[in-house]
Amino acid sequence: MVQGTASGVGKSLIVAALCRHFKKRGLKVAPFKSQNMSLNSAVSVEGGEMSRAQYIQSIACEEPPSVKMNPILLKPEIDGSQVIVFGKPYGHFGAKDYMYSKKEEFFSLALESLNFLILSHDVVVIEGAGSPAEINLKAHDIVNMSIAKAVNAPVLLVADIERGGSFAQIVGTMELLEEDEKNLVRGYIFNKFMGDKSLLGDHPDMIAKRYGMSFFGTMPYVKHRIPEEDSMIDWHTKEKGDLNVEIIHLPHLSNFDDFDPLLWNTSVRFVDEGRLSGDIIIIPGTKMTIEDLEWMKRSGLDVEVKKAAKNGAYIIGICGGYQILGKEIKDPESNKKIDGLGMIPVDTEFEPEKIVSNLKGRELFSGKNLLIEGYEIHHGKSYCTSDPAPFATVSDVNGKAVSYGDGYMKGRIFGTYFHGLFQNFDFTQEFLNSIRRSKGKEEKVIERISLIHEIDVFTEIFEQNVKIKAIEEEL
C-alpha cells in the first residue's frame, strides 16, 4: 500500500509506476483505492464510473479498468458530494452525513472488492488518500490504515520534498500513528526532488532508523504527460503553438484531461473573467451545469462567448458545455429551468438516471468521417429543436452496435457528449489544420502522445532512483 504524508504528494503516479514494474516482471497486477474524491472520472469495463487515477493505473497493469478498483467515488457538488458506488450513483451526502451514516457499509463493500482483486491477482497495489495521520478522521477511516490493517499490507510512505518540510512530514506522520500502524510502515521515499541529492546527506537513513524502517530513495521531479488528479491541474498559460485556445474555467469543471492534446499543440489559456480573443473557445464539462451556466452569466462570459463567435472564433461545448450552448436546460427534480446561450437549437432535460458509456463513432465536422472514440458521463438528454445536424454518428456503445447522431454543429460551432474527443489525434490534427487553412497558416503535424509510453518512461525513472529490490522484499 502506498500512503502519503498529505494530498497531492504524488501517490497516484507512484502506484502506477509500481503497477507497471510488477507487470513488466510478468505478474498479474491490479490497482485499488477504496474511496477517491475527484471530478476527473472515467468509464469502466462494466459501464460504470470510476476515478481517472485508477483508470490510468489499470492501463499500467494492462488490466481492464473495473469499478472494483475504485468501488467508491465522491464527486464534489455545491453542498456535499454525489456518492458513486460500484460505478452507479448511490446518493447525495453532506460531509458529516457521509462520514457518520454509511462508513461501515462502505468499508465492507470496499473490502469485498479488495479481497476479490487479491484472490484474482498476484499483486495488488493499494493507494491511500490524503494522510493516514488525520487524527480527527481516523475513527471513520475507510481508505488508509484501516484498509492496510484489514489485509496486513506493507505500507510505503510518500513525502513531497518539493514543498519543503519533508523530514517533518515523515516524523509527524509516524508520531501520530498507533503502534500497530507504525509496524506496517516498511519505509518511505521522497518525491519530486529538484537539485543535488547529496545535500540530503545521511539524514533520510537517520529518520528511517529512528522508526525501524527503510529509506527507499528519492524520486526526482519528472516532467510527464500522464493525466494528474484535479488538485494538481496547472491553469497557467501554455506558451506554444500558432493557435490560441481559451477554455472557460467553470467552477465545477470536470474531466479536464480532455484538453491535454491541445496543451501539447497550441497555446492554451484557462479563463474565468475578462475578454475572450482566442481562435478556439471551449466550454468544458461540468458536474453542475445549471450553476456553472449561472456563473457564466454573472461573470459576463456568456456575452463574451457570443462576441467571440461573431468575430470568427470556433466555439466548442463538451458534455455540460454542449448543454450550455443550447437554448434551454430543465431540471425537474429541483424544478429549475434556465435559458442556455442559445447558440445551437438544442434543449436539455435532466433525468434521474446517469448515462455512463464508452463510445465509438465517426465525426462529421471535417467531412472525412474520421473514427473517434471516447466516453460519456452525464445526467439528462439533449434534443434538437430543428433539423438535426449531428456532430458525430455513434456506432458502438459499451461494445454494442448502435446507430444514432451525437451533438450538433452549425458552422464554426459544435457541441458533443464525446469526452476524450481530442485524444483522437487524426481528428485533432484535421480540426486544428482546418482552422490554420482558414487563417492562411501552414498546416502542422501534431504531437501524438502514447499514455503507456509515458507510464513506461516514468516507471524507468522510478526504478533507477528507488531501491526497487528492497521494496519487493517487503512483499
Interhelix angle for 203-210 vs 166-176, to 10°? 0
**108 backbone φψ class: left, alpha, beta (φ>0; ψ -120 to 50):** alpha
Element at 415 (helix H, strand E): strand 413-416
CB of 285 within 8 A of CB of 254? yes
Is 419 a residue of the active site? Answer: yes
Helix 451-465 to helix 52-61 angle (10° resolution) is 80
Handedness of CA 416, 420, 426, 430 (dihedral sign): positive
| Distance from chain centroid for Cα 51 | 6
3-state secondary structure of 262: helix
Question: What are the grid coordinates assigned to 91, written together?
Answer: 446518493
CB of 140 within 8 A of CB of 100? Answer: yes
Name the catalytic one among 61, 252, 319, 378. Answer: 319
* CA 378 to each of CA 90, 146, 297, 352, 357: distance values in angstroms, whole numbers, following the listed order: 15, 33, 22, 10, 10
The DSSP bridge pattern shows strands 35-37 and 72-77 to be parallel
Query: How far is it, in rounded angstroms, from Cα 340 to Cα 474?
Result: 57
Read off the C-alpha cell for 332: 425537474
Cell of 240: 506554444
DSSP per-residue string spanning 354-388: EEEEEEEEEE-SSSS--EEEEEEEEEEEEEESSS-
**In the chain, what's the furthest Cα-to-Cα distance?**
73
Options 21, 378, 379, 419, the catalytic residue: 419
Angle between helix 52-61 and 11-24 (nearest 10):
20
> Active-site residue 249, yes or no?
no
Q: Can you spell out the DSSP letters for 312-343?
A: T-EEEEETHHHHHHSSEEEETTTTEEEE---S
DSSP track, 48-104: -EEEHHHHHHHHHHT----GGGS-EEEEEETTEEEEEETTEEEEEE-HHHHHHHSHH
Q: In 389-450, which residue ranges form alpha helices assigned H by DSSP?
A: 425-438
Angle (CA) 21-25-27 rounded to 5° is 95
Bridge partners (DSSP) listed for residue 2? 127, 156
Residues designated as active site = 319, 419
